[in-house]
């Protein structure tokens, strides 16, 4: 049986995952300050991004995502393992992105991935200390978009 603390922790982390997705999708990047630890390590290389510490990756997100007219992140099936004030999570993400084409128009590509996270409980709630993307599938990716293949 889950304790009230574990129920609360699980709900807080699910809210954190949703906050991340909504902040990215709304390009409200300062909201990510409530998701990541200031020194968090983020690795988006599996799907063509960068890796580095949170401030660098946040700046990169701001500069790159403006190039995509429409996209969203649907996150689900978060599996959690707790160890005191730390946790590990693995979450499925489905990420369709409307991608501009060099000749004009757009094409929707579909990306499937997992977020593999390390979290820490802070006085302000749970925060991501590390996020690593693991690629699963990619479909309809335009030839001019560089995404590593598995």
Full-model pTM: 0.94
Residue 149: predicted pLDDT: 67
User: Which stretch of 35-39, 47-51, 122-126, 143-147 has the lowest confidence by average pLDDT?
Assistant: 143-147
Q: What is the DSSP string of the chain?
A: ---HHHHHHHHHHHHHHHHHHHHHHTT-GGGGGGTEEEEEEEE-GGGT--EEEHHHHHHHHHHHHTT-SEE--EEEEEEEEEETTEEEEEEEEEEEEEEE-TTSSEEEEEEEEEEEEEEEEETTEEEEEEEEEEEEEEES--TTS-----
Query: Looking at residue 148, what is its pLDDT?
Result: 73
pLDDT tens digits for range 40-97? 999 999 999 999 999 999 999 999 999 999 999 999 999 999 999 999 999 999 999 9
pLDDT at residue 55, rounded to an integer: 98
Tens digit of each residue's pLDDT (9 = 90 or more) over 83-141: 999 999 999 999 999 999 999 999 999 999 999 999 999 999 999 999 999 999 999 99
**Pairing between β-strand 106-122 and β-strand 74-83 as defined by DSSP bridges:** unpaired
Asked whether residue 150 carries a pLDDT value surpassing 60, the answer given is no
Which domains can be identified in the chain, with CATH numbers? Answer: 4-139 (3.10.450.50)
């Amino acid at each position: 049986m889950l304790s009230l603390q574990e129920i609360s922790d699980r709900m807080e982390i699910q809210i954190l995952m949703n906050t991340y997705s909504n902040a990215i999708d709304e390009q409200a990047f300062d909201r990510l300050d409530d998701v990541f630890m200031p020194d968090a390590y983020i690795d988006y290389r599996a799907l063509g991004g960068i890796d580095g510490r949170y401030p660098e990756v946040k700046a990169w997100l701001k500069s790159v995502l403006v190039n995509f007219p429409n996209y969203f992140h649907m996150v689900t099936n978060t599996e959690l393992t707790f160890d005191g004030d730390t946790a590990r999570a693995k979450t499925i993400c489905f990420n369709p992105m409307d991608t501009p084409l060099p000749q004009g128009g757009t094409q929707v590509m579909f990306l499937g991935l997992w977020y593999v996270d390390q979290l820490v409980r802070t006085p302000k709630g749970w925060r991501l200390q590390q996020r690593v993307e693991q690629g699963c599938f990619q479909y309809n990716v335009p030839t001019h978009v560089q995404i590593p293949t598995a």
